[in-house]
């Protein structure tokens, strides 16, 4: 019999083994939470008072939390565009995907973990107003997709690129 670290070889780890909060079929009720330290620092490090995602992370604004990690949260957006649409946000304030590659990478990892059991989906983030960013705190949309779900993404090449 193998014991210790070798005993897990060949077996997939679940969320509990990775120290994560597992996703439950019923989302947690929307309720403010207490402050949680963001990735890389204290609860106030980099936080912006006027940032809605910083307020959610600080527990000062309600959110329907789907999953929590030490470095990020997955929440239901105010206006989901497909059933199961989630936003993954880092606990520290980073304006967009290009500001801090380490935070962006850890946030993408969490988005990928959310996508694991969804099947077909989009993971989308935007950088800047021209790219449709409307909240300037890094966030990744995880959008479950189904045939004929009615969501048309505006990714038709401009005439000069066809």
Which residues are marked as active site? 139
DSSP letter assigned to residue 4? G
SS3 state of residue 7: helix
Cα–Cα distance between 140 and 87 in angstroms, integer? 5
Burial class (CB in 10 A: 0-12, 13-18, 19+), 89: buried
Q: Which residues contact 77 (CB under 8 A, 6 or more apart)?
A: 85, 86, 87, 141
The token pair at 54 is 């910083």
Nearest to 74 by CA among 125, 121, 27: 27
DSSP letter assigned to residue 22? P
């Amino acid at each position: 019999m193998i014991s210790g670290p070798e005993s897990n070889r060949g077996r997939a780890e679940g969320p509990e083994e990775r120290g994560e909060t597992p996703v439950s079929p019923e989302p947690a009720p929307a309720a403010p939470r207490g402050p949680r330290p963001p990735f890389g620092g204290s609860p106030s490090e980099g936080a912006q008072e006027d940032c809605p995602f910083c307020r959610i992370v600080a527990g000062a604004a309600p959110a329907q939390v789907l999953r929590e990690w030490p470095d990020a949260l997955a929440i239901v957006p105010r206006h989901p565009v497909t059933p199961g649409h989630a936003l993954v946000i880092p606990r520290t304030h980073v304006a967009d995907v290009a500001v801090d590659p380490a935070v962006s990478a850890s946030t993408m990892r969490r988005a990928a973990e959310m996508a694991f059991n969804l099947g077909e989906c989009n993971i989308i983030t935007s950088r800047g107003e021209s790219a449709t960013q409307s909240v300037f705190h890094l966030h990744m949309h995880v959008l479950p997709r189904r045939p004929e779900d009615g969501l048309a993404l505006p990714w038709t090449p401009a005439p000069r690129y066809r």
